[in-house]
Amino acid sequence: MDILSMDARAQSAALERGDLSALELMDATLERIDAVNPQVNAIVSLRDAGRLREEARAADAAPRSGWLHGMPIAIKDLANAAGLPTSMGSPLFAGQIAQADDIMVARLRAAGAIIIGKTNTPEFGLGSHTFNPVHGATRNPYDLERSAGGSSGGAAAALATGMLTVADGSDMMGSLRNPAGWNNVFGMRPTWGTVPGEPAGDMFLHQLSTAGPMARSPADMAALLDTMTGRDPRQPLSIEGAKTLVGIDEAPDGLRIGWLGDWGGALPYEDGITEISEAALAQMADLGHRIETLPAPFDAEMIWRSWCDLRSFAVVGNLGPIYLQEDKRPYLKPAALWEIERGLVMQACDVQRASEERSQWFRRASALFESFDVLVLPSAQLWPFDVSWTYPEKVAGRDMDTYHRWMQVVVPAGLIGLPVVNVPIGFGAQGLPAGLQLIGPRGSDAALLRLAQQWHGATGWSHRRPPPIAEG
């Protein structure tokens, strides 16, 4: 069996038994990267091969430090990994070498992972399409002329092509969900606060983004999530997430699943998105779950307005100091400028109103979960688009009035910090993948992963790998 087709936990077990060496795994990984990455452009800032082989040999000679011992992993290029560049896709930071690991990266390293490089991301992670002026665009391995999504597009494409078996990502606006759906893998936005962010800058107000896991199976994703989660005393809003790998194979029975459809017509979908989603829901019904179609549960425009204002508030807090330096401002892409300039003119009452609207939606969602275990939406409103586009300007004939309106479908869960798992649901007429968001109440991470694992066992969609990619 191709060792790169093995699940991460199977690789880990083979390493522990001595049936596989870390050096063999590293050699196979580097060979796959050499063959595939020039065309896909998912892995960036790859470290020296000789040094990586030395670290693999050292792992073979050392006692096991965790389940990731000796396994290659690449870190999304928004997070710091000591000794590697953190460009964030921006010319302003290209070549900047991280002096220390971020919390999440340190946890992966402590579990034994060998960090081989970074995965590509949009500039500053803005926009769900992975391209930037430092590393270029990441291409979808199922069609190299299409987008891999984002902002964890590099991670998702690397998983789909076997360059990685597990990967980290981060999600403010669908960045662990859209690229997972478009690359036929699993991605999870965990309950907000279970994976602590960095103890720097504001730690109270900007509750939108979180790190999370990606993999080719829910069980691998659970193992990685369990490594990433855990309270950090330096983060006032971090919480202790429940362990999710234990019981992952306990298939749930008779779940109440609410299908939110197109949110009462508020969300335009390209042809085929509704159909493939409803076909997947019919399969979930065959597994013993009860599916019910729901009317729009809340004002979609109010959710969108709250989201846009809170996102601009967060972005200006992060990038505003760069914008105020006139020599650096020209290096910011239009999406960043749009967010910053909105944020700069906002008043305190705007932020308060947006937070109150978010709170209203949270209360309504909490009431929904008294009747339903899981809510479902597509992971994207359209199929992977042309890689040369900046963003889709129309979806199903409807004009998109912002650079990110086409991803509105991911906002209801992300705005209020709910856990979400993307599951692959098959392929459209053009052979492109699609996914579904399984959304649960706060703290239901383990339950969502058990449903995803049941789905994976019943369908096996992620076993359908991309067509062979010719060496460049």
**Residues belonging to the active site:** 76, 151, 175
What is the Cα Rg of the chain in Å? 21
d(CA 356, CA 111): 40
Residue 420 neighbours by CB distance under 10 Å: 29
d(CA 33, CA 20): 19
Sheet holding 166-171, edge to edge: 166-171, 210-215, 186-189, 420-427, 433-439, 374-378, 256-259, 290-293
Structure tokens of 365? 């969602």
d(CA 369, CA 385): 34
Strands 374-378 and 398-399: unpaired
Of 323, 358, 360, which Cα lies nearest the Cα of 343? 323
Structure tokens of 154? 């590099």
**In a 3-state reduction of DSSP, which class is residue 395?**
strand
Of 209, 241, 236, 237, which Cα lies nearest the Cα of 225? 241
